[in-house]
Structure 1
Amino acid sequence: MEEALYQNHLAILKKELTVALGCTEPIAIAFVAAKARRVLETEPVSCVVRCSGNIIKNVMGVTVPNSGGQRGIDVAATLGIVGGDPDLELAVLEPVTQAHIDQVKVLLDQGFCRCELVEGVENLYIQVLLTDAQGNTAQVEAREYHSNITQIVKNGRTLQSNGGNRASVQSDGGEKSLLTVKNILEFADCVRMEDVKEVIDRQISYNTAISREGLSGHYGVEAGQVLMSHGGQDDLRIRARAAAAAGSDARMSGCPLPVVINSGSGNQGITITLPVVEYAKHHHVSEEGLRRALVAANLLSVHQKKYIGSLSAYCGAVSAACSAAAGIAYMLGEPFEVICDTITNTIATIGGMVCDGAKSSCATKIATAVDCALNALELAREKHVFQPGEGLVKQDVETTIRSVGRMGCVGMRSTDVEILNIMLEH
């Protein structure tokens, strides 16, 4: 592989696999709010949070970590202002104490924070405006991905602005348009372990830890535990599904353990990681073999999501589970054709699963997506694959990924709006 392409893929991997504490949408709000508080430099007396519909959708149903079990945009923003550290980015709420939580409750009772829906913006859009008692203001905006600060304004003076254009988003994190299934697998073959060991081992460690917490604690509907109680000790596929679901069980219910995300999503990071880890343990795969498989799986998911976007009505568990199964196929030495057919079979089957916000049912959607993807792998091993012209399947895996991505990004826009409208009904 050319060195320039190698470095591009490495940059994408390192940019995507960052640490987040809790569901990334409320955490992103907390991060932007904490950043605004630092810019203001004084105690704010009011806060206005303006968000896109997809942000609202993904905050309504999840517990904000380190909040004492509270939910909501106002909780996330106020907690970020009171106790957040913006230097930690998506781990912004790590320093929060009980005193901060108590202070948040007082401020919310006083009507400190107001939330507004913004239409006609990117799917991922957050703006926080703070005002102090003297009338000083600080406004911070994020677009495109969760920690991408695109504008900072203090007292009407712009301190930072890059317009949120996609070029600026990708300048530090590689060019995703260069990704293909073929060159992702080539990169996984040749990547130097010293270049990825730290980031991949952190993903394995963090995401395994929250999965174990979900399997032992009481979170959500306990999807992972229920799966394990129905044959998980003897069935590898059930263990793979349960491990991924359990991580989401814990995360969506406010478990404060950090996770390593993919495509801006902790659930997707968990879904990519745990099935591959379970199959590696079962088949006694070496540490290096597991790392290379996760390199492939992570980049394959980024490749699919680049067409869909960070947030949409298309459930990200699908691309993540699909990539996990493709990573398993790669790890077990399956040929290129089987890996491609695994991807095609998965997204041609379950590509229509909708995202109706982050909440406890994400765990069962993950379990379903992983099951579908592993079945897709078994079909591919038997040389069965859906053919061009059957639904969204095209002549090769790249155009199939692109066609499903177009459906998820463009075709499901009206679905996304209607989902939000239904969720906002009382």
Structure 2
Amino acid sequence: MEEKVYQTYVQVLKEELVPAMGCTEPIALAYCASKCRDVLEDEVISVEIKVSGNIVKNVKSVIVPNTAGLKGIEASVAAGIVAGKTNQILEVIANVNDEQKQQMREFLQKIPMKVIPIESECALDIAIHLYGKNHQAIVRIAGYHTNIVYMQRDDEVLYQSGVVASSDSSLTDRSLLNVKDIYEFANVVKIEDVKDVLQRQIDYNLAIAKEGLENNWGANIGSVILKTYGDDIKFKAKAYAAAGSDARMSGCEMPVIINSGSGNQGMTASLPVIVYAQEEQATQEQLYRALVVSNLCTIHQKTGIGRLSAYCGAVSAGIGAGCGIAYLKGGDYETICHTLVNGLAIVSGIVCDGAKPSCAGKIAASVDAGILGYYMYKNGYEFKGGDGIVSKGVESTIRNIGRLSREGMKETDKEIIKIMCD
């Protein structure tokens, strides 16, 4: 394939498949707060936090790891100020001791903190203003979880991005992504170019899935699936993906490898493929190539949707996993196309109402749709262009999903946030 496309795909995987500990929206808040504390260089006496509605939605109900069970925007910011190590980025609060956990609670009790919801062109928008005894500082993140676009100390602007942060503008161009090239790339990629990032995904995400199955986390969707339906591979694939979310949404302090800014998406895109590979005794190379398909198909769908929206990201990842499984089982380009379209036709109505334990149930449903989409095509059945939001051609259907999310679900997103805040 073209060298430009090849190198772009390698870079996209390296940019997207990165480690994070905890739900990425609370961690983005902690990262922003930690950076702002570094800029301030003073004792914090009050805090002002401006956040877009999707940040409110995705932080409200999830436990922040390494805080002894704290939830919410204020807790996330307090964790970053008290214990954040800014250079660890999305693992900013990965190393916290018991004394710091107590200091977080004291900070929340003593320091005035004001949260201000804002209207923003960015679904992901965070601005933290710290007031110290002698100085003040502002840091803003927008567009994606680590994208610092503005820093100020007192009256001096230290940094300001010249680009409106309504998209992942500083990342590698995603417009080159398409299913045909993804399939070709998976066939020809040199394993040494992707091995490290994919092996880390296997190790991290499999570890937290096992934790979710073996212990009491969240609503225990993963273990309920296995207890209820047995360990048939189709159920086991759903259970492992759900179990990772069970643990992560309820404060498990193990890191995961994310996809498109989300740990749930990272686990959903990878764990079903890993489980299938183990069951069918696939080679490590076969697993790597299947993970290339699942991850890039997920990223391709999410590019048109955006990082945060009213459209559940688990759907994109579950369908991506279905594509990876199809590839692992010998499926060709046509098989992957039909798997993707069939799966999207089934579950594209699932809404995102924030990060919380029920994400695990949505993950299970999405993985099920991805697997069903594959077996439909294997048995000679498919959803065709003109069936609802399905258009002729896989790329047309993917574009429809992006349009549905960006345009059609704007008001849905606002209403979800209103309901959650009420």
Tell me the TM-score normalised to structure 1 length: 0.97
Deviation of 1:399 after TM superposition, in Å, equals: 0.4
Decide whether aligned partners of structure 1 residues 411 and 142 sit closer, same or farther in structure 2, where only a CA change above 3 A counts. Answer: same
Aligned with 1:218 (options 209, 216, 219): 216
Tell me the amino acid that sits aligned with residue 195 of structure 2.
K
CA distance in 2, matches of 1:276, 1:26: 28
Greater CA deviation, 197-206 or 382-391? 382-391
Aligned to 2:364: 367
What one-letter code is carried by the residue in structure 1 that aligns with 2:361? Answer: T
1:330-369 matches, cutoff 5 A: 330-369=327-366
Match of 1:56 in 2: 56
Instruction: Give CA deviations for 1:357-397 in whole Å, capped at 9, x if unaligned.
Output: 00000001101111111111110112211111111111100
Q: Which residue of structure 1 aligns with residue 113 of structure 2? A: 113
Distance 2:250 2:127 in 1: 25
Structure 1 residue runs of 5 or longer lacking an equivalent are none
Relative distance call for 1:236 and 1:387 in structure 2 (3 A) is same
Letter in 2 for 1:339: I
8 Å contact 2:122–2:167 — kept in the other structure? no
SS in structure 1 opposite 2:336?
helix
Q: Distance in 1 between matches of 2:230 and 2:273?
A: 16
1:393 to 390, 395, 410: 390
Residue 189 of structure 2, aligned match among 181, 188, 191? 191
CA contact 1:143–1:164 (8 Å) conserved in 2: no
**Which of residues 198, 201, 205 is equivalent to 2:199?**
201
Give 5+ residue unaligned stretches, structure 2. none
Distance in 1, matches of 2:5 and 2:61, equals: 40
Q: Does 1:182 align with 2:180?
A: yes
Contact 1:213 1:250 in 2 (8 A): yes
Q: Give CA deviations for 1:195-233 in whole Å, capped at 9, x if unaligned.
A: 111100000000000000000111111100111112333
Shift of 1:163: 4.4
The residue type equivalent to 1:316 in the other structure is: G
C-alpha contact (below 8 Å) 1:151/1:163 kept by paired residues: no
Change (3 A) 1:185 1:238: same
Instruction: Provide the aligned length of Structure 1 versus Structure 2.
Output: 422
**Do the aligned residues in 2 keep the contact of 1:36 with 1:128 (CA within 8 Å)?**
yes
Q: CA deviation at 1:112?
A: 2.9
Alignment match, 1:127: 127
The residue identity in structure 2 corresponding to 1:352 is G
CA distance in 1, matches of 2:120, 2:21: 29
User: What whole-Å deviation, never above 9, does each CA across 1:60-110 have from its counterpart, x for those lacking one?
Assistant: 000000000010100000110010101000000012111111111112112
Output the amino acid matched with 1:23. C
Per-residue deviation, 1:168:
8.7
**Aligned amino acid, residue 329 of structure 2:** L
Alpha carbons of structure 1 residues 281 and 32: separation in structure 2 relative to 1, 3 Å: same
Correspondence for 1:142: 141
For 1:35, the equivalent position in structure 2 comes to 35
Q: Deviation string for 1:140-179 (max 9, x for gaps)?
A: 01111101111111112111111453699444x3210110
